[in-house]
Structures are given as structure tokens and as C-alpha cells.
């Protein structure tokens, strides 16, 4: 990037094939550099209106009768997400619960199935020791409950850790701190050869890059919709179970939304034939209502186009970090190869919590992840190249002027 | 009720101390007789505006920074619900997940604790064989997973069924079909004497009558907020764990919202000290946003006043059913004593599905529960006495004229 100037970057914005999509989001405070779409995406402009319609017309007007509309939302929206953004087939993805609960349900289902095939063997669940807390904790809890061993490994040690007593492998496709992107197909192949299954957490991948579940031979996955998918704070999560596995797996929470004939209200639980068997209780319709407009924007832009822009924006961050921040002891801890990188960039160094606060003060929202990471995530649907430039420029200026030193060194609560 | 006429009933409306509360709800189609508030309550008038504010100002304007506001909603709203409507103390109730997931979490926690105290004993979980499907199914699933026996009993056989191998009792305070109200205090005492715990499902009680968890010696409870609490379709459910039990119980879904120091993101899961340990994943904020205005209306009316009106409205239904419907083979299958009755009335008889459809056609929304129940639930916050009268009058007219015979006899989907 020889001629890297703000003017050059402005021409990238002008020529950006996704430039019109920013207008499909509510962008209050337009001068904010929002690089935290991997924690909480912006609201699509249409979401407020859709929600108002659901509250006023469907809930208020239709009352209980609107359940005839709502009853299949988890499946209908799951199909849009699965087929258009995750490379799954119809009837393989459903919106449900939180990522934590979905992880628990699918991990428990997989472990139960494995244990039935390996009676008397005390199995092991392998997980990435650097994975997002909820993934690690859910695995630890399940292992404690079932008398299995939970063992954290680095993804590049996975091959040697695989053995015939591995009941399940739980991995994130994109690491929440470093943005390292794993090779889903090769990990799945390795696991298959070792006679085990992989449960993927797609939270930092869905909506940021094309996930090719079927092509990569994925069997199980979960993920959230409130990051790059822009479905709102704590929006319903999703789960994926490959079609041929669905009849073989039973999840532990036998709620009435997973029942074959829900309204017969019969004496015995009999799981639904398809992906609905992985549902549990009544889904939160108001939160689900915000998923649809969010998916529509992603689908309209096209996930390949989103990825192309994401790669360029992350390259810009990396390039500017190398040029401007290296001298302050800040290094890029994200793979340089786009084939091994998700949609954000991790900067590591001293005083990252203070820098994160100073950035916020300067109108740049990134986020801090303990102990020493500053994450910057452009969201191609609404983040401009010039916004990335300005964020990096302000970070440089803060460092040059020591402006972060006036902020507290003690990390506070952020999500 | 000697002078029971529509005119008399209109004076009840005029003198109703809660009459002004109807104005605090969105009541589109004012001539509808809505007697299904025990399936889905009406939206409070303020809910749409609150949601719009959360979407536009908090999510759109504050973006990820609004998590500093949202982070304690599950606990803050739980305290309002717990202390004002359920007779619990602060820090004993939290909004979380669905009723099914909460049932699973608390039942699993209780069973784990029991099993640790009774090593080698194959325990039994007792449940009401006529309970709502999700309660029965969740218990069956948990028993299957843990190698316990799940056994359905009628509540009046509970005393004789209690024995030292009972690991847990799961009961609904108000039966979803018959509206039978159990005596929580005496059941809790019986269970305590037998060395076991009771997990109460309060779904059909919360917001309909004063629940006195502390006074009745209740230890564990769950329930939904979308019925008499009017928090919206699939609104987040709640759970209650008595304070002294909290440190003794661990639920199985070790999600990051249940972690003691959530944002340290440390290697080991360590449950939060208080009620938050029963949380799992990120809560659905848009759906939670609708809980607050809904609770405010209930609290402003006062649960004792709500109950007084509910009792009179149910008496009116029972009286008119006795007078007008008995000759058509329809009987009231709800206890006559108000001390043994929740907030709705169950009518049983032939052709109830057809009658339910004919009623809907005539502007009366009740609901059908397989195999032969028509439930009618006045919701005192917005249901008028005259609405109850008109519903019963239309039901009589349908029967007199055989108007239900043109509707399909095959039950469809309703919630």
C-alpha cells in the first residue's frame, strides 16, 4: 500500500460496492468510529418499525391468534440464516435460546450419543483453552456432570490430542480475541478419522465471512446473531445439526417446543422429527422479530461481498498498526494471511484498557478483552474505510500525546 | 346472585376499583371478549414506546456501551417481580431463559444436590401427571439422563407417594387446565418432612394471585411472564431460589452470565455468589425491555386487588355456566372454592374444539386444551365484567342455535 493517505481511503469508500448499505442502518452520531460490531452490531433502520408492527398489530391486534404466524419463526429464520449465510441446507438451522444453552444442548446430545457407543469408557471433551469463556465453561460443566474429562488444547495441537477416548471437540471457527480462523474442513476430517464429532461455535464468523457448513463436512454448530448479524442485544442464538444426524441425537432439555405434536399435549415426550427437536421452550418473539430485518440486510449485500470488504478493512488496520503503533510496543496478534483470519483485528500491548477508554473518549469504539487485547472490528455493512483510518489515526494521536494515561488502569465491565 | 342481569354487571364495571387500568393496555378491537390472558396477556400501552426507545436510543445511540445499563436487568426486574408479586426477598428471583430451560436448570441442580447426599440410591422425581406438557417432559428427560425414575401422581396422592427415595417434586401451583390451586405451604411442609424439595411452576399463578413464596416456605420456583404478567409472546421467564439454598445448588449450564467475575474471562467457571449463578447466556434485551412496563402495571394495581376481581369474575363464569350451559352437557371442572382456584375456569364437555372456534367467530377468545377443555380466563387488569357476561351469553347463543356444528372437529394449533 504505497500511497496510503486519507484521501486514497476516501476513494475506496466512494468506490465501495457496499457503500449504500450504511443507509440501511440506524446511524445516530455519524462521526462515531464504531469498530465493535463483533460485540454488538448496529440496528438496521427497519428494525424499530418491524418491532412496532409486531407489538401493535400482531401482539396487540392479533393477540394469542398471532401464534399461527409466530409458531414457525425459529425454523423459517433458521432456514434463511442457514441457507444464505452458513452454507447449510433447509431444515438444518433453527433460532433458539442463547449460545450458551445451545452449546449445552448440542454438546450434551453428542456426548450422550458417544457414551452409548462407548459404554464404560470415561471420555474426554477437547476444547480450545483460549476460547470464549462461555464455551469453556459450558464444556467444563457438562464434563463435571457426566463424569468426563474436559481438556483445553491449542487448535494446532488438536491432531495429536485426538484419540479414541475423545467424545467431542468444541471449537470456535474464529477466535474471539485473535480472530484466528480455523480450517473447518480439515478439522472435521481429522475428527471424523478419530471417530469423534466437532461442535463449532460460529459466533465470530456468522455474517462476517461465508461459512460453508455442508461443504466442510460440519456436523454440529451454534452461534449468536447479535454480532455481525445485527439482530440486537442478546438476540436469539442459532444451532445447526446436519440432517442425517438429527434422528440420532437427543438433547437434554425436553421442552414442549421440541415435541413432535406440540399441541396434542400427550403423556410422553417424543422429539420432533427434524431440527425442531433441538428447541426447548417458547421462543422470545419480540427479540426474534429483530432477526428478520437483520438477516435481510446481510443477504441483500451478499456474504462474499461482505467478506471481500472485511478483508480489505482488516488489512488497512494491520498496515496502519504496523506503521504507526509498532513503536509503542503494540503488535498485531491476528494472522496475516486472510485465509487464517476472521473479521476483526487484535492488537496486544501494554495499557490496552486505558487505550480503549481514551479511544472511546475520542469517539472510537473498540473493545478490550482481558488481559491485554484491544479488538477492532470493521463491519462491512456500515463501517467506512475512512472510519477505520480515523480510528487508527486517533489511536496514534492518543499514543503520541500520552492521552490514555489519565484513564483508570483497572478494567471495568464491557461486553 | 339473584339479580344477575347484564345491567347489574355493568354496574360492577362502573364500580370496579381497577376500571381505569384497562386504559393502560393497547386494546385494539374493543368489542373483542378476550378471555385468553392466561395464554398471552395484552400489551401494556407503554410497551411499544419503551421498545422503540431501547432500539433507537439505547441500541442505536448507545450501541455496545448500553450494556452498562442492560447488564443488571435480569436481576433488577427479578427483584420487582419477586418482592412485589411473588412474596420473595431481594436477590431471590431473576429473569432468565424460557420456563422449560429454567425448569431443567433448577430440577437438575436439585437432583444433583440430592444425589450427592444419597450416593448409590436411584431416586425418583414426582410430578403431577396432569401438569403442563413442558413440565412433564422436562422431568422425564432429566430422569432419563440421570438414571432416575420419573413418576406422575395426582396432587392429592402426593402425601402417600412421598418417600425417602424422592429426589424432587415438580408441581404447578395452578393447574393449566382445571385451574386447581394447590396449598403451597402444606405441600412444602410435607416435602420437607420427607427430606425432599419442591420445584414450583408458577406460570398460571404469577400476576393472577398473590404468591407468597417466603411465607409458604418455598425453596425453588420458575414461571413465565407472558400470561397474566403481560410481558409479550415468549417473554423471558423467571426463576426463584431461596437465598440460603443458593450457595448449595449448582445448575448445569455453566454460561458466562452465571460466572462470578464475568469479564475477567478467567480459566475456570466459578458460579456467582447469588441468584445470578442460575443465569446462563446473554439475555434477550429487546424481550426483557417489555417486562418492565408490564410489571409496573401489575404493581400499580396491586396483586391483592387483582385477585379480588379475578375471584369475582371467575365466580360469574361459573354461575353463568351452571345456569346456561349445564343442559348442553358442559360442566365446570374448576374447584368451586376460591381458596382452591386460580385465575381461570375450565369448562369440559363434548365438542369443545368446535365451540372454541365458534366463539372466536363471535368475537370471544378463549382457548382449547386437549382433549375436551375450554379455558376462559378473565384478566382483571383489562377484562370487564360485561365482557365476561357477553362471552358467556354468546356461548349460550352458539349452543342454542347449534352454530358450532359448522366448524371442523379436528383440533388445530393453539398456544
User: CATH no. for residue B365?
Assistant: 3.90.1150.10
List the pLDDT tens digit at each of the 415 positions of chain B.
768 999 999 999 999 999 999 999 998 666 899 999 999 999 999 999 999 999 999 999 999 999 999 999 999 999 999 999 999 999 999 999 999 999 999 999 999 999 999 999 989 999 999 999 999 999 999 999 999 999 999 999 999 999 999 999 999 999 999 999 999 999 999 999 999 999 999 999 999 999 999 999 999 999 999 999 999 999 999 999 999 999 999 999 999 999 998 888 889 999 999 999 999 999 999 999 999 999 999 999 999 999 999 999 999 999 999 999 999 999 999 999 999 999 999 999 989 999 999 999 999 999 998 889 999 999 999 999 999 999 999 999 999 999 999 998 876 554 4
Domain boundary among A252, A269, A300: A300
Give yes or no for a contact between A343 and A328, defined as CB atoms under 8 angstroms apart. no
| B214 and B247 both lie in a single domain | yes
Is B219 a member of any domain?
yes
pLDDT in tens, A207-237: 999 999 999 999 999 999 999 999 999 999 9
- Per DSSP, A377 falls in state B
Give yes or no for a contact between B61 and B182, defined as CB atoms under 8 angstroms apart. no
Is A225 a member of any domain?
yes
Domain boundary among B300, B319, B335: B300
Rounded distance between C-alpha atoms, residue A61 and residue B29, angstroms = 7
| B264 and B387 both lie in a single domain | no
Collect all residues of chain B within an 8 Å Cβ-Cβ radius of residue A370.
Answer: 263-265
Collect all residues of chain A within an 8 Å Cβ-Cβ radius of residue B60.
Answer: 26-28, 42-43, 48
Nearest-CA residue of chain B relative to A268? B137
| B283 and B315 both lie in a single domain | no
Interface of B with A in 84-113 (CB under 8 A): 97-101, 104, 108, 112
Is B291 a member of any domain?
yes
Is B54 a member of any domain?
no
In Å, how far are B84, B99, B155, B206 from B184, measured between CA atoms?
18, 19, 11, 14
| Contact with chain B for residue A402, Cβ under 8 A | no
Is A319 a member of any domain?
yes
| Contact with chain B for residue A249, Cβ under 8 A | no
Residues pairing with B378 in the sheet: none
| A150 and A86 both lie in a single domain | yes
Catalytic residue among A127, A226, A257, A368: A226
| A156 and A230 both lie in a single domain | yes
**ipTM reported for the complex surpasses 0.85:** yes
pLDDT of B414 reads 45
| B194 and B310 both lie in a single domain | no
Contact B101 A360 (CB under 8 A): no
| B350 and B382 both lie in a single domain | yes
Domain count, chain A: 2
| A174 and A289 both lie in a single domain | yes
Contact A63 B98 (CB under 8 A): no
Is B65 a member of any domain?
no
| A197 and A333 both lie in a single domain | no
Interface of A with B in 313-342 (CB under 8 A): none
| Contact with chain B for residue A281, Cβ under 8 A | yes
Residue contacts between A and B (CB atoms, under 8 Å): 309
Segment among A126-130, A295-299, A349-353 with least mean pLDDT: A349-353
Contact B233 A56 (CB under 8 A): no
How many residues are recorded in chain B? 415
Angle, alpha carbons A254-A259-A260 (nearest 5°): 150
Backbone angles phi, psi at A409, to 5 degrees: -85, -10
| A306 and A289 both lie in a single domain | no
Query: Is residue A412 pLDDT above 60, yes or no?
Result: no
Give yes or no for a contact between A372 and A348, defined as CB atoms under 8 angstroms apart. yes
Give yes or no for a contact between B180 and B343, defined as CB atoms under 8 angstroms apart. no
Where in the sequence is the domain holding B346, given as residue range(s)? 6-43+302-406
Rounded distance between C-alpha atoms, residue A202 and residue A214, angstroms = 14
| B94 and B182 both lie in a single domain | yes
Q: What is the CATH number of the domain that holds A161?
A: 3.40.640.10
Rounded to the nearest angstrom, the minimum Cα separation between A334 and chain B is 19
If one counts every other C-beta atom within 10 angstroms of the C-beta of residue B413, the result is: 10
Is A256 a member of any domain?
yes
Domain boundary among A271, A300, A329: A300
Collect all residues of chain A within an 8 Å Cβ-Cβ radius of residue B130.
Answer: none
| A191 and A251 both lie in a single domain | yes
Nearest-CA residue of chain A relative to B264? A370
pTM of the model: 0.97
Put the strands of the sheet holding B331-332 in their side by side order.
B331-332, B345-348, B373-376, B367-369
Query: Is residue A243 pLDDT above 50, yes or no?
Result: yes
Is B14 a member of any domain?
yes
pLDDT of B46 reads 97
Nearest-CA residue of chain A relative to B52? A48
Contact A233 B56 (CB under 8 A): no
DSSP assignment of A276-295: GGG--S---HHHHHTHHHHH
Amino acid at each position: 500500500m504505497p500511497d496510503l493517505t486519507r484521501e486514497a481511503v476516501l476513494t475506496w469508500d466512494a468506490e465501495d460496492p457496499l457503500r449504500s448499505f450504511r443507509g440501511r442502518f440506524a446511524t445516530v452520531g455519524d462521526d462515531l468510529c464504531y469498530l465493535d460490531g463483533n460485540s454488538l452490531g448496529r440496528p438496521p433502520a427497519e428494525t424499530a418499525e418491524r418491532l412496532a408492527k409486531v407489538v401493535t398489530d400482531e401482539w396487540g391486534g392479533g393477540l394469542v391468534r398471532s401464534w399461527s404466524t409466530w409458531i414457525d419463526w425459529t425454523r423459517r429464520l433458521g432456514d434463511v440464516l442457514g441457507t444464505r449465510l452458513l452454507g447449510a441446507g433447509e431444515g438444518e438451522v433453527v433460532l433458539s435460546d442463547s449460545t450458551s444453552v445451545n452449546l449445552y444442548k448440542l454438546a450434551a446430545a453428542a456426548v450422550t450419543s458417544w457414551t452409548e457407543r462407548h459404554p464404560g469408557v470415561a471420555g474426554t471433551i477437547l476444547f480450545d483453552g483460549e476460547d470464549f469463556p462461555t464455551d469453556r465453561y459450558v464444556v467444563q460443566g457438562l464434563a463435571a456432570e457426566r463424569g468426563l474429562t474436559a481438556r483445553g488444547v491449542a487448535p494446532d495441537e488438536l491432531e495429536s490430542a485426538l484419540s479414541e477416548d475423545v467424545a467431542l471437540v468444541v471449537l470456535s471457527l474464529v477466535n474471539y480475541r485473535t480472530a484466528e480462523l480455523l480450517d473447518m474442513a480439515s478439522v472435521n476430517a481429522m475428527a471424523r478419522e478419530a471417530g469423534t464429532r466437532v461442535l463449532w461455535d460460529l459466533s465470530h464468523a456468522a455474517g462476517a465471512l461465508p461459512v460453508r457448513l455442508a461443504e466442510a463436512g460440519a456436523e454440529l454448530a451454534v452461534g449468536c446473531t447479535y454480532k455481525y448479524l445485527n439482530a440486537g442485544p442478546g438476540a436469539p442464538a442459532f444451532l445447526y445439526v446436519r440432517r442425517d444426524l438429527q434422528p440420532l441425537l437427543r438433547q437434554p432439555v425436553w421442552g414442549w417446543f421440541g415435541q413432535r405434536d406440540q399441541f396434542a399435549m400427550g403423556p410422553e415426550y417424543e422429539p420432533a422429527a427434524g431440527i425442531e427437536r433441538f428447541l426447548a421452550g417458547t421462543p422470545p418473539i419480540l427479540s426474534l422479530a429483530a432477526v428478520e430485518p437483520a438477516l435481510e440486510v446481510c443477504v441483500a449485500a451478499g456474504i462474499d461481498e461482505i467478506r471481500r470488504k472485511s478483508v480489505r478493512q482488516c488489512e488497512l488496520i494491520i498496515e496502519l498498526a504496523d506503521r504507526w503503533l509498532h513503536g509503542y510496543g503494540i503488535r498485531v496478534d491476528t494472522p496475516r494471511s486472510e485465509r487464517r483470519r476472521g473479521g476483526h483485528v487484535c492488537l496486544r500491548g501494554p495499557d490496552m484498557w486505558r487505550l480503549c477508554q481514551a479511544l472511546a473518549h475520542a469517539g472510537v469504539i473498540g473493545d478490550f478483552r482481558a488481559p491485554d487485547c484491544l479488538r477492532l472490528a470493521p463491519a462491512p455493512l456500515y463501517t467506512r474505510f475512512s472510519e477505520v483510518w480515523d480510528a487508527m489515526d486517533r489511536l496514534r494521536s492518543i499514543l503520541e500525546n500520552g492521552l490514555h494515561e489519565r484513564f483508570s488502569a483497572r478494567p471495568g465491565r464491557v461486553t
